[in-house]
Every structure is written in C-alpha cells, then in structure tokens.
Amino acid sequence: MAASYEKRGNRLLPLDDIVHLAITGIAQGCAYGLIALGFVLIYKATEVVNFAHGEFMMLGAFAVLAFSEALGWGFWPAFVLGCLSIAAVGYLIDATIMRRIIGESQASVFILTVAFGFIFRALAGMIFGWNTRSLDTPFDGKIAIGNLVEINSDRVAIIVATVVLVGAIYLFFGRTRYGVAMQAASQNQLAAYYMGIPVKRLVSFTWAIGAFIAAAAGALLAPVTQIDTTIGLLGIKALAGAIVGGFGSIPGALLGCILIGVIEPFADYYLPGIKGVSAYVVMLIVLFVRPEGLIVQTYQKKV
C-alpha cells in the first residue's frame, strides 16, 4: 500500500489514498482495540494491568499456526482451537499466579506481568523458532467499496470480527448473570463473596475471555504482520490507545485504539521523524489535557 507512492512531504494526498489509509488505519486500530479489549476486561475485573497481554496475541497467532500446520486442519478449526488453547493459558495464569498476589502493590504487579512477557516471548521462540512465519487465511483478495477504493479482505475481516466480538462482550456483561456477577466482583470482592459469587473462578474466566480475544486478534492480524515473537509488542500501543479513550470503559478503549490506528499512518506520512512513537505522543497529550481519557471512570472516594 505505502509502496505505491513516495512520501511527498506536506502536499495533500489524493482522496482515494486518504480513504485507503483511513480504512487500513481503522483496521489496524481495530486490531489494537481487540487487544485493548482484553486489557480493559481484566482491568475492570481485577484492577490489574496485564502488560503481557500483547503476548497472548502473539501466542494465539502461533497456536493457530501450529494447529493448522502440524495437524493439517483448515483455518477455522485451527482458529477456534488455537484461541481456546490460549484462553486456557490465560485461565491458568490467573488461577495459579495472579490469585496469590491479590493486594500487592501495583508496582509489584506491573513488574510481574512484564516478567510474564519475557517468559512468553522466550518460550514461544524456543518452541516455535525465531524465524518469521506466515499464516494462510481464507481472507485473500480484495473487496471493493463502491468504485472508490479496494481494500484487502483481511483488513475487512478484522473490522468485522471486532464488531462481532465487542457486541458479544457487551451483551455478555450487560445481560447475562455471569457478566453482572463479574461487574460486582470487580467493584468489591469481599461483598461479592458474601453474595455467594465464585469470585476466583469468575476472575480466571475473565482472563480466559481476554486471552481468547487477543489470540483471535493475533490470528486475524497474521496476514498483515506475519508471525514472529515480537508482534506482541503491539500490545503497548493498544495500551496507549486504551488510555486515550479512557481506560475503564470498553467503548472508550476501542475508540482510542481506532483513533491511534488512523492517526499513525497519517502522522508517519507528514512527520517522518515521529516514526513509531506517534501513538505515545498522542497518549501523552491526552494524559496532560484530559487525564481521565475521553470517558471518565473514577469517582470520588467516600470517606
């Protein structure tokens, strides 16, 4: 996409290029958003920020690859199984480790999740090798929008998947018993226990859901980024996006990520020095101007 024209400095792009960049940006933002979704879910449930969430995405991509290559299965079965297996990993992480450190200082918990990141990356490399791999998906070809522009179907798939998954999450948390129970547990665990809510299991389940979504994002993004051990670092950008939108809310996080996804290619075009850090610059600007993000989630403590 970017190879078809040279950087022309400050001249305006033609319309179809703008639309192309914008839609690709939205797709990228949706991918960030899916990762951020997992972040926010886990944060809402446990107030833990999982710095290693991007690694779930990386592991998911590898898992799907493994299932489709090693077992010779088609994309969809491999996809489902791959994501489920990473969901299981997420569950285990919470059940065995995170449960034990409830109440520890935030700094300790951050470091812990960063350490997870190291471990996952190293393990992935040791198991799957350090080379870049690619994944065959059924999303070849392009889709035309009117006669304006052509988009790769894999990008479209990401956008569609995001819509579907976000919708599902929303319904789940708002309408089902489990969802409401999870919200209760996230606000006051002790009280939730008294209400007979199996808090620990629900929390682990939340980790599982978050991991599943990240894994799905990984697999869907594979045609774009290819698969190697470093793709998980996109997670940090997803984090930035979630902050821009307001970390406590799902629509906010998604919004922020899409915003970042769209801004990045344009920033890269007009301000070449910025390179990969435009996401962080936007985030810092938002943090200074409106620290709560676009949608506020803190209330004053009642003393």
> Footprint of other proteins on this chain (CB under 8 A)?
46-47, 49, 97, 100-112, 114-119, 121-123, 125-126, 130, 186-190, 193, 236, 239-240, 243, 247-248, 273, 277, 280-281, 283-284, 287-288, 291, 297-303
The Cα 268–Cα 247 span in angstroms is 25
Query: Of 225 and 278, which has the nearer Cβ to other proteins?
Result: 278
As measured in angstroms, the least distance from the Cβ of 288 to other proteins is: 6
The Cα 27–Cα 8 span in angstroms is 24
Answer yes or no: are the C-beta atoms of 250 and 166 closer than 8 Å. Answer: yes
Scan for tokens 């926010």, then name that residue. 40
Query: Of 153 and 297, which has the nearer Cβ to other proteins?
Result: 297
Query: Of 80 and 112, which has the nearer Cβ to other proteins?
Result: 112
Answer yes or no: are the C-beta atoms of 271 and 220 closer than 8 Å. Answer: no
Closest CA to 154 of 79, 214, 225: 225
The Cα 235–Cα 32 span in angstroms is 7
Distance of CA 178 to the CA centre of its chain: 22
Answer yes or no: are the C-beta atoms of 249 and 16 closer than 8 Å. Answer: no
Query: Of 75 and 110, which has the nearer Cβ to other proteins?
Result: 110
* Token pair of 187 as six digits: 């606000």
As measured in angstroms, the least distance from the Cβ of 167 to other proteins is: 25
Query: Of 138 and 276, which has the nearer Cβ to other proteins?
Result: 276
Residue type for position 73: W
Residue type for position 80: V
As measured in angstroms, the least distance from the Cβ of 212 to other proteins is: 23
Instruction: Find the helix packing angle between 199-225 and 234-245, rounded to 10°.
Output: 120
Query: Of 38 and 223, which has the nearer Cβ to other proteins?
Result: 38
In degrees rounded to 5, what are phi and psi of residue 248? Answer: -80, -10
Query: Of 153 and 183, which has the nearer Cβ to other proteins?
Result: 183
As measured in angstroms, the least distance from the Cβ of 97 to other proteins is: 6
As measured in angstroms, the least distance from the Cβ of 291 to other proteins is: 5
204 CB neighbour count, 10 Å cutoff: 21
Residue type for position 188: N
Closest CA to 216 of 78, 119, 96: 78
As measured in angstroms, the least distance from the Cβ of 241 to other proteins is: 11
As measured in angstroms, the least distance from the Cβ of 275 to other proteins is: 8
Query: Of 11 and 299, which has the nearer Cβ to other proteins?
Result: 299
Answer yes or no: are the C-beta atoms of 181 and 197 closer than 8 Å. Answer: yes
Q: Are strands 149-152 and 142-145 parallel, antiparallel or unpaired?
A: antiparallel
As measured in angstroms, the least distance from the Cβ of 84 to other proteins is: 25
